[in-house]
Structure 1
Amino acid sequence: MEAKRIQWIDFGKGLTIFLVFLGHVILGLFDSQQFISLNRSLLTIVELLYIFHIPVFFALSGYFFKPLTNLKEFWSFAKKKTVLLGIPYLFYSVIQVVLQQIGGSAVRDPAELGDLLTIYKMPLGVSWYLYVLWAIYLSLGLLSVFIRDKKGLFTLTAIGFVIALLFPIHIYLVQKLLLWSFIFILGSFLREFIKESPNWRGASYMILFYGVLVVLFMLRWRKLEFIGYTSYDTPDVWGLIFPFSVLFAFTVYPLLAKISFASYFIAKGKDSLAIYLLHAPIVSILRIALIAVGVHSLWLHLSIGIVFGWLLVNATVWIFKKVPLLSFFLYPQKILKLGVKR
């Protein structure tokens, strides 16, 4: 049975996936090295987005997670999540390799044909999120059979999070699981504290606190002359900002979801996974095409990349939803009639 939709969760996914899209547009321009004089400004925007969007996306994915009762339920749960995430994962991996053949060195995340043989241990491009999310579902699902108290899972993953920050383990999946399982379960844990009727006055303290925290974070980041943005693999102590980004989002999103423009992002939230997978190749192709025809204005790249790119991504999602064969690759649950639960 599909989990009951909650508007502010859909809104959160919709707005957050737009921020992911925006981050990749700007990061692509930074990585292209076509606008060296503005690299610092581009990287500052990327950093502001990256300390927020993926942590919040993981927490939103974990919102509906509940401990499983027995191994039989776990196996059913594991099979459904494997199909639900595995088919889009394989689809994107093929697209990434094809894109590499077309774009060559202009592609930000290079991938060769032989890389398809190793995607079971090393994901390609943005598909890492699906790979890690699948591993989190299976790991926490199995653990929850034996540790049914959500507080126990929260404590265990919090310890893993600290280990990932201070003593990173150089095994890809292990490090990712330690780092992101806590953020995922934080989303589930916070479900108990979300108020049915939140108000801006009550949220103002969190907004102020997070605002000050981000300012201090960015000032320290700039002072250290960072040449890159916070890592999603080994963020060091900088990763401590991730849980606060989640707390801020879970405080503000229920309020923003009541504003008139929210309906747009609520609709996008229902297709957030499809947008996530399709935006990366489309943004890359658009950037490569603009550079190829001699467009070297940053503002033109931003305007066309953001406005036209977003419209193109959503048009492509619409086509995938309308054509059953294409829909299977991004919405396998609709074709296979899977009950997506937890």
Structure 2
Amino acid sequence: MANKFWDKDILQSNRLPWIDYARGIAILLVLYRHIYEGITRAGIGNGQYAYLEDANIIFYSFRMPLFFILSGAFVRKSLQKRSTGELIKNKFNILLYPYLVWCVIQITLQIILSKYVNANRSLVDYGYIFLYPRRLDQFWYLYALFNVSVLYILTSQKLKLRVWQQLVIGFAMYMLSSYVSIHNIDLGFVHDILRFYGFFALGDLIGGKLLDKSMYKYYSSWWTFLALLPVFAVSQYYFLHKNIQMGGTMFVEEYQPLLFLVISLAGCAFMANIAFLLQRYAVVRILRIVGFHSLYIYVSHVLVASACRIVLVKVLGIQSVPLLLVICLIFAAVIPILLYRTAMYFGAWWLYSLERPRKQKQSSTPNAITPVADLN
């Protein structure tokens, strides 16, 4: 069975390795934040590990913009293969549907296990699924990506907006999102559309260049690495210390949106360079496996991490925050992959998508879903 979980199809396919590397980096940073905050909310550590909190703040600046940029990079290619209606249907099947399924699963389990988990859930939370996804832990991203993708597709195809027009609109929406945040105007799911639409448009703008293999030698250059490193270091240093000075992780993003834009894009560029370097040398291949399964990790990692933390703390009596963080992070990355592969093996593909799996030639994994570029 192990070969069916860790088959070589992913590594030997025609997929672009750097995409999986980049998504692998991004999803691990997401896991870090959610697991670390789950540990601190449980009252463990009492703030004695400042360096872990520092890392949590730094990672926050670029991980979600990176996801939206990578997704936007493929929208033009997808539109060349599918009609507008087909592509929107595809987005519903692979984004909105798993969002709905896993929201219900997680909320239900959190209500049933309310004595053991940090989340304080009730039947009211089911009503937040469409209006206030930010109140449902990690799930807001899938809903936001669906809304941004569909809006971008419709405005591109029906209104014939060009990429530069989309960028202008996206920038205006981004600045508006800062305004509503500062003035505590709760727009629910609309806020995430305002915040990330421009990043998606930027991905569309640079998608052709990112997919141009003749440019890979520049993207994977150590000179590029050395050029980006000081920019990344200085920008992250400022982001960290300014937010600490102002008592949170959101000050720069909300009150200095233009500066945050520069900081986040510098982080995205640096992570992309690292992904291309990993592709160039074909190392740390486990990260590609993680990146391939990033969607499936995303939907279930909070449940897995919470269960792992409860066992480690309540049963085994472990109180070391670094140890809890490492163990929970490993489990939160591995167990969702195993759950997904098990589901595929037994034909439970409907847990993750409304689209039936496409059979792959010479595949060692029966019924494996072939994920679209936006998700893996």
Q: Normalising TM by the smaller chain, what interval?
A: 0.7 to 0.9
- Residues 177 and 105 (structure 1 numbering): CA distance in 2 closer, same or farther, change over 3 Å? farther
Tell me, yes or no, if the aligned pair for 2:71 and 2:373 is still in contact at 8 Å: no
Tell me, yes or no, if the aligned pair for 1:80 and 1:338 is still in contact at 8 Å: no
The corresponding residue for 1:137 is 149
Q: What TM-score, normalized to structure 2?
A: 0.79
Shift of 1:281: 0.7
Q: Which residue, out of 206, 224, 235, partners 1:213? A: 235
The corresponding residue for 1:26 is 36
Aligned residues: 334
**Residues 24-173 of structure 1: pairs in structure 2 closer than 5 A:** 24-38=34-48, 40-66=50-76, 73-104=83-114, 106-123=116-133, 124-145=136-157, 146-168=159-181, 169-173=185-189
Task: Give the superposed CA RMSD.
Answer: 2.9
The whole-number CA distance in structure 1 between the counterparts of 2:124 and 2:148 is: 26
Tell me, yes or no, if the aligned pair for 1:286 and 1:305 is still in contact at 8 Å: yes
Shift of 1:14: 1.7
The whole-number CA distance in structure 2 between the counterparts of 1:231 and 1:131 is: 24
The corresponding residue for 1:6 is 16
Q: Which residue, out of 264, 269, 275, partners 1:247? A: 269
The corresponding residue for 2:10 is none
- Residues 208 and 90 (structure 1 numbering): CA distance in 2 closer, same or farther, change over 3 Å? same
206-215 vs 184-193, which moves further: 184-193
The corresponding residue for 2:222 is 200
Deviant stretches of 4+, over 4 Å: 67-70, 336-342
**Letter in structure 2 aligned against 1:141:** I
Shift of 1:285: 1.3
Tell me, yes or no, if the aligned pair for 1:30 and 1:39 is still in contact at 8 Å: no
1:183 and 2:199 correspond: yes
Structure 1 SS opposite 2:151 = helix
Q: Percent sequence identity over matched residues?
A: 23
The corresponding residue for 1:330 is 352
- Residues 92 and 110 (structure 1 numbering): CA distance in 2 closer, same or farther, change over 3 Å? farther
The whole-number CA distance in structure 1 between the counterparts of 2:294 and 2:370 is: 18
The whole-number CA distance in structure 2 between the counterparts of 1:49 and 1:143 is: 32
Q: Structure 2, unaligned stretches of length 5 or more?
A: 1-13, 359-368
Tell me, yes or no, if the aligned pair for 1:27 and 1:42 is still in contact at 8 Å: no
The whole-number CA distance in structure 2 between the counterparts of 1:178 and 1:248 is: 24
The corresponding residue for 2:288 is 266
1:318 and 2:341 correspond: yes
Structure 1 SS opposite 2:355 = helix
Q: What TM-score, normalized to structure 1?
A: 0.86
Tell me, yes or no, if the aligned pair for 2:296 and 2:337 is still in contact at 8 Å: no
The whole-number CA distance in structure 2 between the counterparts of 1:111 and 1:286 is: 20
The whole-number CA distance in structure 2 between the counterparts of 1:37 and 1:68 is: 46
The corresponding residue for 1:306 is 329
Tell me, yes or no, if the aligned pair for 1:67 and 1:141 is still in contact at 8 Å: no
- Residues 222 and 120 (structure 1 numbering): CA distance in 2 closer, same or farther, change over 3 Å? closer
Per-residue CA deviation, residues 103-146 of structure 1 (Å, 9 max, x unaligned), is: 31653443323422441222222111110001001111111122
The corresponding residue for 1:276 is 298
The whole-number CA distance in structure 1 between the counterparts of 2:236 and 2:356 is: 40
1:288 and 2:307 correspond: no
Q: Structure 1, unaligned stretches of length 5 or more?
A: none
Tell me, yes or no, if the aligned pair for 2:23 and 2:67 is still in contact at 8 Å: yes
The whole-number CA distance in structure 2 between the counterparts of 1:299 and 1:182 is: 36
**Letter in structure 2 aligned against 1:235:** E
The whole-number CA distance in structure 2 between the counterparts of 1:69 and 1:101 is: 41
The whole-number CA distance in structure 1 between the counterparts of 2:45 and 2:74 is: 42
Tell me, yes or no, if the aligned pair for 1:93 and 1:127 is still in contact at 8 Å: yes
1:237 and 2:256 correspond: yes
**Letter in structure 1 aligned against 2:121:** A
The whole-number CA distance in structure 1 between the counterparts of 2:254 and 2:266 is: 15
